[in-house]
Structure 1
């Protein structure tokens, strides 16, 4: 019975030798077929074994082969034996050079006794190669190394065969003849001059494995660090971000400080370091942003540290780069607010243990908490107002000063444009007169300003007077800088006999102060203010943050919030306006009471909507004529009002 076996080995020779040992045969007794040469995967990570099939040649086959012309490979040489009237055939494999009578043979051919035959394996030398890859930021250059190969091939020994397929065995040796000069030259040819990593380049030339090496690195820019403040005692509970007011009373327990206690530390800005690309180009960094730190009279600033001067609650308020630091005292009034005690104005927080009676007024620069009701009263808080009871025919506002500031900012933008034009016109006038504007007498400059206002800038005076009047009406709610600017404008443009400050330098200083004020206040503050109550009737409620009616709803009220409005209970009659979302249990009544609900761009959600209720989002409006349950309204991607 003919024996046959398929064996794997590190090389073809090892596989054949192992097969012969298993079959206990010699090479002359078998036929060998190479199924697969030994090789490696693409990156040299895995070795593929050679595979051969060895089959025993029968006596009859051997006897018949001796009666025919045959060929074999023996000791690396091609041997041919001719018999009468028969000729052997040779077929070279792809890695064998077969020359017959000086002609390269690549296909199956018949060999004649007179042919001159040369046969030898093809040995290959593949050089190592590399490519350079640059990242999109031009900060890293990576050399991708592909090692070279020395492929040594030998003719595979066979038995006598009429058709001899000449095959080879392979031995692969990985090589890397790259030099550091090769890689450095390629980098320089690519204009990479900065950050060459010579140690890594040497590693790339030593490796015989396919691999990647970072051969050049740019210098990454170190970003600038903006100025900020570090809240020493509270930074684990309250993250401070730009455009955000930090209300510590929302935490439990309520943080307080004692007189002399450290509140926060000012951290000055740190300028970053520019980066350098592989091509030597600079990568500049943005300059750090400074903050305008404004501690109140109740805070002491010493060597970049902020200390409380009194016992109270620390408050940090951000508006763009303006940071206000204060310590709010609390005024506690255990009784009702009535004619006996009078109105209450307090710089800090107010706690009232009773109710606020008719015609009474309560105002605080911080938070207001009222334990009972408000009836025909006016309540004005800066941070928040919480009324445990109900609101009857009252006006309650939170953060109304932000609305006033928005008006002043708009007016000041117009005033600043006029001031710049007036200063430019004055310079031109006195230059034509060959006079230095800085040396013009005050009375002459006053006359020139008056003529400009009468002939060219007649609208300016109306705008100035409007600005001054708004500041005067709300002076108790505004920072000192607004009052100071108003006084300066009055002195320069309104006061008929005031010439003391009338000079061009004073005007230029006024322009700079107006520019700084706009820079600070043009950016809208984003407070976390809230107005809370259990119930409201025939009242006006305003908050520059959120409004939350906790239980019994609202009747015939005008309610405005710059953020969200949430009403637990019924909303019957009146007008509800929010900039963001509105959520309520019930709107309108079975009698068809007109109820208007409006938001700028948010979502309106109402559990029960009665006829007579209208909703509006942006410019899209809808009125209900039947009872609707679980209503959600919003604007879709096409800008249409969608009601579900």
Structure 2
């Protein structure tokens, strides 16, 4: 209350305490206000008395002739008075963000009715209110119905839920009306009739299966169904609280490609046209084929020669020193690999050891991944070179210098982009090493890129459009790689020593472990034997490294680098890099788990779930 209102109230109250007197009789000459049953009645003054006054409060607003009495206002019997009582709301309706549910919160502490208190004749009327508990809750129910209608909610009210809300615990939200949700559809999917190759191999090895007697697994005959393609099932639209359509989540069919050894009937069954191993590769497009299997009944040595095969290769002996095995399918070695090179476009399985060997799984995927990276670097330098060359040529023309655009480009490569030759050279070597695995288009791109290394040819170019086709081919090659994402391929072996292991999938070690190996995998490095260890070497995994023991107190540190997490039962003499965070463990420690949180901070905790035999 401000000072002026307070002073006026004090003056009026003092006047009330000193009524006018006539002829010795006490007669009230001032006007008055009476409140009875919520109705205000005004009496005008007599014999020159003063008019009564009224003023609003926070809970009760008094309106005199359409104007609220925010400050004390004189009133007359002829005035039109309105009383507006403000109630603390007994409930609240909240609509969910998706407009599919409306919640009712009942505030039990506010379940009363505020009424105007009766008051006898008074010269200055300050309204008072009183709280009367609700005899029943029908009033709230009616108010809720009215408000829902005003909100234009057309979904029917759930009567039981409404009654539940009235008796719910303090401020509990209850859904009293709901829309009809959209019915979810289902994406298309592939149901395969053969086991995953890596899982099958690991399971067989753990059961000590003899592959010489077991035959080729998995294997099918011509006419067998190897998979069923299930088409997508679209969903159904729903309706929200306000009657608006809620479309279902879009669904998509699985994209399937068929090689010449398979066909698909009208029902979606994929059928083998010949005997062999069913193969499913690809990511964005799933490619079915039947791999022919080439069997070497013994060792791969000088008497057999290098093995290059378009399909699977099964070697029932060892791969001897200096020998090379390449396959577009899986490579399975039932013995060991000694100073050998194994290159597979899919999985590599070595039942025994790999010593001083190079083993590459998912080779085509690895080649494409590296090629994609190098093409990106070449395009970045090309774009910068084009911009600078055109700008310099324009300046040269303004100054009357007669030089070709190729001469300017050659000079810029020499002085500002010397790294372009190195990247092109690295790309050329990569394509050359791929041999027949890589498409012919990439070899043509290599020939086109030679222009930047031939100063004589480059100097003759007068228009940059003559070079533009190189950029177009780079872009085409990049898109081709993006549309040819290959399925991750695994390397599974028992033990490796002084070997280089690379795959675009995971490395799974089932035996003693790794000794001084260089490992690069796009997914995980996992160890299945609790007696296995990682000693020396370098392992880089974009996913996880989960092992039992790593490092040694002697010799060089063991280096482990991951993108997700490292889990070890025991570590000593180990350097661990998670993301860009590095941890050194010089002394023996146990039960370690390192990972990155969402903010990129290194998170370390005790490994409560020690690695056990899978």
Alignment check: 8 A CA contact 2:535 2:550 kept = no
Q: 2:193 aligns with which of 214, 219, 233?
A: 233
Aligned ranges 1:174-573 → 2 under 5 Å: 186-192=147-153, 195-197=154-156, 217-223=178-184, 225-226=186-187, 228-231=188-191, 233=193, 254-269=217-232, 272=235, 275-281=238-244, 283=246, 287-289=250-252, 291-303=254-266, 304-319=268-283, 321-414=284-377, 462=421, 466-467=426-427, 469-478=429-438, 480=439, 483-484=440-441, 487=444, 490=447, 513-514=476-477, 516-517=479-480, 519-520=482-483, 527=488, 529-533=490-494, 535-552=495-512, 554-561=514-521, 562-566=523-527
Partner-residue secondary structure (3-state), 2:241: coil
> How far apart are the structure 2 equivalents of 1:207 and 1:585?
62
Q: Distance in 1 between matches of 2:192 and 2:382?
A: 43
2:577 aligns with 617
Whether the 8 Å CA contact 1:132–1:142 is kept in 2: the answer is yes
Structure 2: gaps (5+ residues): 1-89, 108-133, 169-173, 205-213, 389-403, 459-464, 608-614
Describe the shift of the 1:293–1:465 C-alpha distance in structure 2 as closer, same or farther (beyond 3 A).
farther
CA contact (8 A) 1:423 1:508 kept: no
Q: Deviations over 1:580-629 (max 9, x none)?
A: 2252457436xx332423232533536574xxx3433334243636xx37
Structure 1 residue 190 displacement after superposition: 0.7
1:408/1:208 Cα in 2 relative to 1: closer, same or farther (>3 Å)?
A: closer
Give the drift of 1:269: 4.7
- Native 8 Å contact 2:385 2:412 kept in 1: no
Segment of structure 1 superposing worse, 573-582 or 413-422: 413-422
Deviation (angstroms), 1:384: 3.3
Which has the larger Rg?
1
> Aligned partners of 1:403, 1:191: CA distance in 2, in Å?
59
| CA deviation after TM superposition for structure 1 residue 515, in Å | 6.0
Mapped partners of 2:412, 2:248: distance in 1: 45
Aligned to 2:36: none
Deviation at 1:310, TM superposition (A): 1.9
Q: CA RMSD in A?
A: 5.3
Per the normalisation by structure 2, the TM-score is 0.55
For residues 520 and 327 of structure 2, what CA distance do their matches in structure 1 show?
20
Tell me, in whole angstroms, the C-alpha distance in 2 between the residues paired with 1:640 and 1:130: 45
- In the alignment, the residues of structure 2 paired with residue 280 and residue 366 of structure 1 have an alpha-carbon distance, to the nearest angstrom, of 56
2-side partners of 1:248 and 1:264: how far apart?
17
Structure 1, unaligned runs of 5 or more: 1-128, 147-171, 239-244, 426-447
Instruction: Map Cα deviations across residues 139-183 of structure 1 (whole Å, 9 max, x no partner).
Output: 24578999xxxxxxxxxxxxxxxxxxxxxxxxx999979999x98
Distance verdict in 2 for CA 1:173–1:313, change over 3 Å: same
Does the C-alpha gap of structure 1 residues 519 and 352 become closer, same or farther in structure 2, counting only changes over 3 Å? closer
Of residues 553, 561, 569, the one that matches 1:599 is 561
Q: 1:296 to 1:506 in 2, by over 3 A?
A: farther
Deviation of the 1:196 alpha carbon: 4.0
Residue 394 of structure 1 deviates from its aligned partner by: 2.1
Contact 2:281–2:487 (Cα < 8 Å) also in 1: no
Find the counterpart in structure 2 of residue 96 from structure 1.
none
| Matches of 2:165 and 2:547, distance apart in 1 | 66
* TM-score, normalised with respect to structure 1: 0.53
**Residues 1:258 and 1:247: Cα distance change in structure 2 (over 3 Å):** farther
Deviations 1:254-283 (A, max 9, x none): 443222333334445555555443235554
1:178–1:399 CA distance, 2 compared to 1 (3 A): closer
Contact 2:299 2:319 in 1 (8 A): yes
Distance 1:325 1:246, change over 3 A: farther
Q: Could you say which structure has the higher strand fraction?
A: 1
Query: Does residue 139 of the first structure (1) align with residue 100 of the second (2)?
Result: yes
Write out per-residue CA displacement over residues 3-24 of structure 1, whole angstroms, 9 at most, x where no aligned residue.
Answer: xxxxxxxxxxxxxxxxxxxxxx
CA-CA distance at 1:312 after TM superposition: 1.9
* Cα distance between partner residues in 1 of 2:166 and 2:443: 75
- 1:359 & 1:268 partners in 2: Cα distance? 49
Give the structure 1 partner of residue 125 of structure 2: none
